[in-house]
């Protein structure tokens, strides 16, 4: 395993394609995560039932969670490796990993949005996952824990900003992944770009809408 990782890290193609594939898999996770979280707008009971279904998977869920953690770590380690190589080979920045194309606000801020997302994830896991892991008081009603957190002014701001930062990151990251995998072709570039924007905007607005809708009275105990 370590040998394999060292080989991926040593090759430029390995680093770029590893980052692209792990990034696209993480997009898949965020889509399913958003769909699950939207049940909160129906009712607390619907969200808790969804969470319970996941937890009923038992060891399978643990395997999926460890896989997800490995995916995040893999993506981050490769991002650092690509970034360091680019800097070493003159300051051409992350955009070089995505090849040609115009600079956008998404491409210019890629490292910054990556760092903000990492900080958000640490707080986010501490918010919800950690309390449940240690069996803290009140953690049985996960929906209420989430609602309480993301409807306070600070929590709400944090979750809305994180959603927008995620959108910005994906506005460049999605199309860049296709470029890194050599899957860009004149015929499809436009569709890939549109799909990337649709995902970026859809995920950003979808996640940001949850605290906003809850404050406006959506969801509820029953
Ligand atoms: C309104 C926004 C969000 C809400 C309400 C929310 C809610 C939750 C909850 C309740 C959990 C714990 C699940 C459990 O233990 O059963 C969780 C875990 C997690 N969330 Fe979020 N989340 C939001 C946004 C995000 C975003 C934007 C990302 C990624 C960029 C993200 C990534 C994760 C990850 C990686 C986990 C750990 C997965 C696990 O251990 O099962 N979340 N989220």
Per-residue pLDDT of 11-32, as tens digits, reads: 888 999 999 999 999 999 999 9
Q: Which residue's CA lies nearest to atom 28 of ligand 1? A: 30
- Burial tier of 68 (Cβ tally within 10 Å: 0-12, 13-18, 19+): middle
Q: Is 81 within 8 Å of 18 (Cβ atoms)?
A: no
Q: Which residue's CA lies nearest to atom 5 of ligand 1? A: 37
Residue with tokens 């040593």: 10
Q: Which residues contact 136 (CB under 8 A, 6 or more apart)?
A: none
Q: Which residues contact 47 (CB under 8 A, 6 or more apart)?
A: 37, 39, 40, 142, 143, 146, 219
Find the 146 Cα to ligand 1 centroid distance in Å: 10
Residue with tokens 């080989």: 7
Residue with tokens 């892991």: 133
Per-residue pLDDT of 66-84, as tens digits, reads: 999 999 999 999 999 888 8
Q: Enumerate the domain spans of the chain.
A: 2-215
Q: How much is the pTM?
A: 0.89
Average pLDDT, the chain: 88
CATH assignment of 2-215, among 2.30.30, 1.20.1300, 1.10.1760, 1.25.40: 1.20.1300
């Amino acid at each position: 395993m370590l040998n394999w990782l060292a080989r991926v890290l040593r090759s430029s193609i390995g680093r770029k394609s590893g980052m692209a594939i792990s990034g696209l898999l993480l997009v898949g996770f965020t889509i399913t995560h958003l769909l699950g979280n939207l049940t909160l707008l129906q009712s607390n009971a619907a969200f808790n039932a969804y969470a319970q279904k996941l937890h009923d998977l038992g060891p399978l869920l643990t395997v999926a969670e460890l896989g997800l953690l490995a995916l995040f770590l893999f993506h981050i380690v490769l991002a650092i490796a690509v970034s360091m190589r680019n800097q070493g080979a003159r300051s051409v920045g992350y955009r070089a990993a995505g090849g040609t194309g115009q600079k956008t606000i998404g491409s210019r801020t890629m490292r910054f949005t990556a760092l903000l997302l990492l900080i958000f994830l640490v707080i986010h896991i501490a918010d919800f996952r950690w309390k449940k892991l240690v069996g803290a008081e009140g953690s049985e009603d996960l929906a209420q824990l989430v609602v309480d957190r993301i409807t306070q002014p600070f929590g709400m701001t944090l979750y809305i900003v994180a959603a927008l930062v995620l959108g910005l990151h994906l506005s460049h990251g999605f199309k860049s992944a296709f470029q890194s995998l050599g899957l860009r072709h004149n015929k499809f570039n436009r569709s890939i770009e549109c799909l990337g924007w649709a995902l970026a905007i859809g995920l950003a607005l979808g996640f940001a809408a949850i605290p906003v809708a809850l404050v406006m009275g959506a969801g509820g105990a029953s």
